[in-house]
Amino acid sequence: ADQERCRLSVICQNWAHCNYEFIIPSGAFVPEPQVQVGLVSFRPLTKPYIDLPFPLVNKVVTRMFQGKQKNLSNSLGPLFPRKLEKRFVEDMLTLADVLPTRRAYLLTMEEINR
């Protein structure tokens, strides 16, 4: 599990092989940034992990990471009508074979694809 995993990393990994190349020294920039800068390369996948339209994938992944420290059962609710959200989230996670107490950053791409 990677605590730095986020919506952007999942979206990128869905459509490309992402490879962390190296850190660019902060002295290479003017003004010098207060953060480390890394170079990442992307090589497109021939087929995405989640082979669904981008707007749908983006909407679900965004909701998953809306409350990064929240359980999935809490963060996914707004995808559904309020009166049905509890049942639909429970059904969604059961069908995906993912525990409702899991947090988004702990999921693998395979689990997200389910």
* Residues 75, 77: Cα–Cα separation, whole Å: 6
Work out the pLDDT band at 82, boundaries 50, 70, 90.
very high
Work out the pLDDT band at 35, boundaries 50, 70, 90.
confident
State the angle between helix axes of 7-15 and 54-66 in degrees (0 to 180), rounded to the nearest 10: 150
* Residues 37, 82: Cα–Cα separation, whole Å: 41
Q: Provide the pLDDT for residue 31.
A: 93
CA 35 vs CA 10, 15, 30, 32, 40: distances in Å: 22, 27, 13, 9, 16
What share of the chain has pLDDT > 90, as a percent? Answer: 75
* Predicted TM-score (pTM) of this structure: 0.81
Mean pLDDT of all residues in 67-79: 88
Q: In the chain, which ranges are continuous DSSP H helix?
A: 7-15, 54-66, 72-75, 85-95, 109-113
Mean pLDDT of all residues in 48-68: 92
